[in-house]
Amino acid sequence: EAGVAQSPRYKIIEKRQSVAFWCNPISGHATLYWYQQILGQGPKLLIQFQNNGVVDDSQLPKDRFSAERLKGVDSTLKIQPAKLEDSAVYLCASSLGYGANQPQHFGDGTRLSIL
């Protein structure tokens, strides 16, 4: 089966600019996650979707970050405006079902550098 697809792989922007990331999960996977992974740390969950509804976005900086999954399939994550501390790898993952035991399948991420 095809894995989780993410694009772009790399992005370099200046602070205060906007950027968007795209994720296409594994076909049939109902749950989609966006994570932020800063160098030297584990992934931090930003937002979790169940189909096209938001399950949790408690750690999403909503003043600058937004995400949508309109048709319950692919998803976009946007940052506007970007800050220096947003430099990180943004990982998308999907799982077939919903729950703590569900194995998550990750994409290779988008590496964002803010100048």
Partner 1 sequence: TQLLEQSPQFLSIQEGENLTVYCNSSSVFSSLQWYRQEPGEGPVLLVTVVTGGEVKKLKRLTFQFGDARKDSSLHITAAQPGDTGLYLCAGASGGSYIPTFGRGTSLIVHP
The residues that touch partner 1, with contacts defined as CB under 8 A, are: 4, 33, 35, 40-45, 48, 55-56, 58, 91, 93, 98-101, 103-109
Q: What is the smallest separation between the CB atom of 72 and partner 1, expressed in angstroms?
A: 18
φ, ψ for residue 36 (rounded to 5)? Answer: -115, 125
Evaluated on CA atoms 29, 34, 37, 43, the torsion sign reads negative
The minimum distance between CB 107 and partner 1, in angstroms, equals 5
Whole-angstrom distance, CA of residue 55 vs CA of residue 36: 17
What is the closest distance, in whole angstroms, from the C-beta atom of residue 79 to partner 1 in the complex? Answer: 19
Tokens found for residue 92:
């998308």
Residue with Cβ nearer partner 1 (23 or 114)? 23
Measured from the CB atom, the residue of 10 and 83 that comes closer to partner 1 is 10
Task: Report how far residue 111's alpha carbon sits from residue 108's, in angstroms, rounded to the nearest whole number.
Answer: 9
